[in-house]
Amino acid sequence: MDQKLWEECVLFHGHECPGLAIGYRAVEIAKEILGDVFSPLCDEEVVCVSENDACGVDAVQWLTGCTVGKGNLIYKPSGKMAFSFFLRNSGKSIRIVLKPDSSPVEMSREERRKYILEAPAEDVFWVKKPEYELPERARIFASVICEKCGEASPEYKMHFEDGKKVCSDCFIAYSRGW
């Protein structure tokens, strides 16, 4: 483990915790299997799909340079402690999933953090192939003005309601129970 990189992650995130360790270790594993997964100036050459919005995402951002704003950090809200990494130029990909109850005994937060960072990777994580394709590159969409609130939203987020173009916040979804 690179202690300097870990300390930088902690500074970025704000504290040490098991969640940050999960993201840190996921990136380490991705580096071992895929090669360099840091994309400082490559915009979207490295893509991470995070299935959670927890502490580990901060480690992924710091260590890979992937961000939501650049379009190469994508949130897929399954709630799983899983990160998929894609390399656009080579087509390589990997999905790293925290094993449920991967620690052999009950542990304190500090013991759990240390275990995640130091235990053999195969004891803590499953390494799989993503079951979905590499997400497309970020696109720029025209803005459309909502006819209810007057705010602009990208065209792909707009809905029609009573013949008006309305944003997702204003739209009242129609449902009959399923």
pLDDT score for 27: 95
Residue 124 domain-assigned (yes or no): yes
Residue 133 domain-assigned (yes or no): no
Tell me, yes or no, whether 78 and 145 share the same domain.
no
**Residue 64's CATH number:** 3.30.1330.130
pLDDT score for 73: 94
Tell me, yes or no, whether 62 and 150 share the same domain.
no
Tell me, yes or no, whether 103 and 157 share the same domain.
no
Tokens representing residue 164 in the block? 């008006």
Instruction: Write the pLDDT tens digit of every residue in 37-95.
Output: 666 656 678 899 999 999 999 999 999 999 998 889 999 999 999 999 999 888 899 99
pLDDT score for 35: 83
**Residue 151's CATH number:** 3.30.60
Question: How many domains in the chain?
Answer: 2
pLDDT score for 42: 60
Give the DSSP H/E element, type plus range, for residue 7. helix 3-13
Tell me, yes or no, whether 12 and 84 share the same domain.
yes
Tell me, yes or no, whether 106 and 172 share the same domain.
no
Residue 70 domain-assigned (yes or no): yes
Which residue in 81, 47, 82 sits closest to 61, CA to CA? 47
pLDDT score for 103: 65
pLDDT score for 133: 84
Tell me, yes or no, whether 51 and 87 share the same domain.
yes
CB 107 within 8 A of CB 121: no
Give backbone dihedrals phi and psi of 36, rounded to 5 degrees, phi first. -65, 125
Domain membership of residue 49 as a residue range: 3-128
Local structure of 26: helix, strand or coil: helix
Residue 76 domain-assigned (yes or no): yes
pTM, 2 dp: 0.82
Cα–Cα distance between 64 and 23 in angstroms, integer?
11
Instruction: Write the pLDDT tens digit of every residue in 89-113.
Output: 888 999 999 998 766 678 899 999 9
Concatenating the DSSP letter of every residue in 28-90 gives HHHHHHHS----SS-TTSEEEEES--STHHHHHHHHH---TTTT-EEE--S--SEEEEEETTT
Tell me, yes or no, whether 109 and 152 share the same domain.
no
Tell me, yes or no, whether 17 and 79 share the same domain.
yes
Tell me, yes or no, whether 168 and 90 share the same domain.
no
End-to-end CA distance of the chain, in Å? Answer: 49
Angle among Cα 45, 34, 55 to the nearest 5 degrees reads: 75
Tell me, yes or no, whether 83 and 107 share the same domain.
yes
Tokens representing residue 5 in the block? 């990189």
Residue 64 zone, left/alpha/beta (φ > 0; ψ -120 to 50; rest): alpha
Tell me, yes or no, whether 27 and 68 share the same domain.
yes
Tokens representing residue 17 in the block? 């915790």
